[in-house]
Amino acid sequence: MCNVCLVSAQSYYRYSAASLVRQGLKSGSWPRMWRRHTLKSHYDVIIIGGGIHGLATAYYLAKNHGITNVAVVDKGYLGGGGSGRNTAIVRSNYLTPEGVAFYDRSLELYNTMATDLNLNVMFSRRGHLTLAHTDSALRTMNWRAEVNKLAGVDSSVIGPQEVKELAPSLDVSTGTRYPILGALYHPPGGIVRHDAVVWGYARAADHLGVELHQETEVLDILVTGGEGPDGKGHGGKVTGIRTNRGDISSPVVVNCTAGWASLISNMAGVPLPITTHPLQAAVTEPCKVFLPTVVVSGSLHVYVSQTDRGELVFGASVDPVGTYRVNGTLEFIEELAGHVLELMPGISKMRLLRQWSGLCDMTPDYSPVMGYTQVAGYLVDVGWGTYGFKAGPVSGETMAESIAIGRNADLISSFGIERFTEGDLVGEKGAAAVGH
Ligand code: PYC
């Protein structure tokens, strides 16, 4: 570049920086992502939970079905629960045909999301490796690969040398305590910027007329005509919710919460087969990008990916004891570090920057609970265990469809609450990220 160009480029950047600051200081010149509203006394649909699931449900109700008199209420801020605490991994290499079809539709929606929502959600389709350290793990990987292929999902079992080519920092030598015997390789898997997904759905839903109410805590779900002593439960009909900002009526209330799903559902007289456990995660200081894929090790209870900023993001299995506490523990960090170094001895000098945890609502079969319940007008989109982030778009799409057509959408027909009484479980534990 000639001197003149350099000077003009420099002044261009100075000018841009100055105008950015000026723009930032001007009050009201940048539109808010979403508006504030006074709470109305009635909505056609109330959605409890302002995470990705609740916001996506609201967005698809408005976009696909023209249902816009919708309120999303959240006791905190949008995306402050599981949506802001996950490790942002997406994939569709599940074990059951029902799970594969469902998560694959979610991946499709993630693929076009940046265009659909006009926001860069930083979807990085970088491939996903689930390592096998034992013969029985290899058998499960082969089983998953066959189910995946039948559904048209790109997924196959590869050997240690191919693993090494895809992720050179992994130790694939044979002398280790947990030698890598192979892996399930799923090229369409990857990571997405989770906050951007929240903001994208929130902004788009707001533009379509949906109202987003933060700091609006649900104190009760109003039900009439049920069999329970309080008029709730089986045979009842939902009439609205009680909040810290007053009562709101609605013929449809959707529980899109995570962490507190069973407590909220008890308010409608609909108990859920869920236990709630924390899941801890941690992130390192940033460093030059060296890990090109997502890597999961079930036996070592760890998964890792590297963000565009260069940080390594780690997660593990849920803590063994059910609790609503979300504090981090030293025990987790010690185990995590030990296991990660078995896989990638070369990163022993990296420093962890922070750790956090989120709440996971675990169901007996590791599949979600979705759709209509025994209380008319009360729907659930819950039981998201450790797989809620990747399911957000398809959950929103199918919950919205279910509300619009008055029955569970075909894609979620296997995830209904009645499966627990009918003994028709959808066993997905073999495809959970790590052993629990
Ligand atoms: O199921 O892929 C997964 C996952 C990643 C992190 C937690 N669960």
Give residue 416 CA to ligand 1 midpoint distance, Å: 22
214-269 pLDDT, tens per residue?
A: 999 999 999 999 999 999 999 999 999 999 999 999 999 999 999 999 999 999 99
Dump strand ranges (E) for 30-120.
45-48, 70-73, 89-90
Describe the crossing of helices 194-207 and 388-405 by its angle, rounded to 10 degrees: 20
Q: Which residues of the chain have pLDDT under 50?
A: 1-13
196 contacts 122 by C-beta, under 8 angstroms: yes
Cβ of 203 below 6 Å from ligand 1: no
Pocket lining: 106 vs ligand 1, CB cutoff 6 Å: no
CA-closest residue to ligand 1 atom 3: 433
Ligand 1 neighbour 302 (Cβ under 6 A): no
Neighbours of 292 (CB within 10 A): 15
**Interatomic CA distance for residues 169 and 287, integer angstroms:** 14
Distance 432 CA to ligand 1 centre (A): 7
Q: Minimal CA–CA distance to 294: which of 145, 154, 155, 126?
A: 126
State the closest ligand 1 atom to the C-alpha of 87, by its place in the atom list counted from 1. Answer: 6
CA 91 to chain centre: 11
CB of 303 shorter than 6 A to ligand 1? yes
280 lines ligand 1 (CB under 6 A): no
Q: How far is it, in rounded angstroms, from Cα 133 to Cα 290?
A: 23
pTM: 0.94
Query: In the prediction, which pLDDT does 264 show?
Result: 98
Tokens of 177: 């305590």
Cβ(305) to ligand 1 under 6 A?
Answer: no
- Is the CB of 332 within 6 Å of ligand 1? no
107 alpha carbon – ligand 1 mean position (Å): 14
Please give the distance of CA 223 from its chain centroid, rounded to a whole number. Answer: 29
For the CA of 128, the nearest atom of ligand 1: 2
262 lines ligand 1 (CB under 6 A): no
**pLDDT of the residue at 5:** 38
User: Ligand 1 center to residue 253 CA distance, Å?
Assistant: 28
Q: Tell me how far the alpha carbon of residue 75 lies from the centroid of ligand 1, in angstroms.
A: 26
Cα-to-centroid distance, 73 and ligand 1 (Å):
27
Ligand 1 atom having least distance to the Cα of 189: 2
pLDDT of residue 28: 66
Q: What is residue 162's predicted lDDT score, i.e. its pLDDT?
A: 98
Binding site membership of 386 for ligand 1 (Cβ less than 6 Å)? yes
Which ligand 1 atom is at minimum distance from the Cα of 315? 6
Best residue for ligand 1 mutational test, from 304, 386, 389, 436 (most atoms within 8 Å of Cβ): 386
The span from the CA of 422 to the CA of 411, in Å, is 19
In this prediction, residue 18 carries a pLDDT of 76
Which of 361, 366, 386 minimizes the C-alpha distance to 280? 386
> Could you tell me the distance, in angstroms and rounded to a whole number, from the CA of residue 148 to the centre of ligand 1?
17
